[in-house]
Amino acid sequence: MNSLEVIYPGVHSDLGGGYPPGDQGKAFSQDNVEGDGLLLSQIALNDLYADAFVHGAPLKVPRESLPIGLRHEEWRAMEFDVVKGFDVALPVVNRFNAWRQMTLGLPPVSHPLSIEQIEHYQPLTSATTLEQAARTQLGWITAWRIDRYAFASLKQATFYLQASDTEADETVRDQAKAARNNNQAAVKKRRLQQLAIERNGRTAKKPLEPGVKDFDADMAQTQLREAAVEFAAAYRDPDHQASMLSQVTPANAPPVAVYRIITADARVECRQMKAAGQARVSQLFAPPAGRYNHPDEKTRGAVDEIGNATQPPGLLRALFDDQVHDSRAWFLYSLGREPMGSYFRERMVFFGEASRRELALNPETRETMVAGITPLPDSGLSVAARPAVMDAQRMAEAQQAIKALWEAQYPKASGVSDALS
């Protein structure tokens, strides 16, 4: 074995550091004094560094970590700003440890750590499968969403109130997008001027000016609020997948890839995820002593967030509040709703038996086919018979079709050189 799959909290970009401090009101500090230290990605960053170092990667280290006999070799020491780049704020440490305790069933972390733990990075072995571990994590985030989204408590949450919303107005948003496009047009013009000068031999070639960042409207508060509305509707309607057909049209479906969703499985997933969240929501959002809450999907009841704020359940709630972003809320506006997507659908696991998805390629039609559902009136969608299991032949055909798509795409991109985005 030459690799390990390690479980971390958060969405994809929480792990990779794609969200800057303050986005969606998360990882926020006044005047950004904590910088990246409040991002969940700092945990993975330190783990990757430790793992690489223990396996012999010739990485620099903080100056105080150098043996006295090597401190004269300046190249071995990290610069101050690099050391700061590894900082993890104490609230994140405490909340991450609470996540380990609550969702993985690990014992509390003892302090101080032993020398062996400090000097040798080693992920703990799990006794469960990756698929089951993912379902457990989905159960916890669903519990958080039940209270914050389905019962709209996010509107009083600090992260929501801190989320920026300066371009929620469509007119303001259009103006901001036009300004971005004008700036990009100016960049392209300067690139052409540079290329012309270089062709004439009047100057040496150098990398072209990078493009302006793609337009991303500043409307996180609106995105979160509308995501909450969508989640609430799905939470109270276990069969919401059927009604979503009206949102799936050939215009926003992939041009060749056609998703075949088995709705019986979708309903089971929805109910399982909902039940997992309901079983945990009162741990994260505990009632006052001697009382009960969240008895059903329409009743929240009394919640005492202060009572467990410093305990593992409250710290885990704070992690979801202030560190874990909602990429789906962002996608709703930036890239549009994914066909047949939902907060109550598991993500794709392509090569495992459990939780796999039926993915077929159909070049003759651009229709989205869903088994077992009658299309809504005027939806333009057809109903397919229940698709066969993805056997080896169908998998090979799908992979060949995907390869052909990429090969057709490569010539279009071959003329693009440095920083032409």
Q: pLDDT tens digit string along 32-67?
A: 999 999 999 999 999 999 999 988 999 999 999 999
Nearest to 215 by CA among 179, 185, 169: 179
CA–CA gap between residue 373 and residue 338 (Å, rounded) = 18
Provide the pLDDT for residue 26: 97
Question: Looking at residues 277-300, what average pLDDT do you find?
Answer: 97
Average confidence score pLDDT of the chain: 81
Render pLDDT for 300-339 as a digit per residue (tens, 0 to 9). Answer: 999 999 999 999 999 999 999 999 999 988 876 665 556 5
Question: Looking at residues 365-392, what average pLDDT do you find?
Answer: 38
Q: Which residue has the tokens 């090979």?
A: 396
Provide the percentage of residues in the chain whose pLDDT is more than 70. 73
Strand partners of residue 359: 259
Render pLDDT for 166-177 as a digit per residue (tens, 0 to 9). Answer: 999 999 999 999
Identify the three-state secondary structure at position 250: coil
pTM above 0.85, yes or no: no
Greater confidence (354 vs 322) lies with 322
Provide the pLDDT for residue 347: 66
Cα 334–Cα 339–Cα 345 angle in degrees, nearest 5: 100
In the structure encoding, which two tokens stand for residue 240, read together? 């919401």
CA–CA gap between residue 10 and residue 321 (Å, rounded) = 11
Q: Is the pLDDT of residue 260 over 90?
A: no
CA–CA gap between residue 365 and residue 379 (Å, rounded) = 15
Strand partners of residue 296: 299
Provide the pLDDT for residue 346: 76
Asked if 265 and 370 touch (Cβ cutoff 8 Å), the reply is no
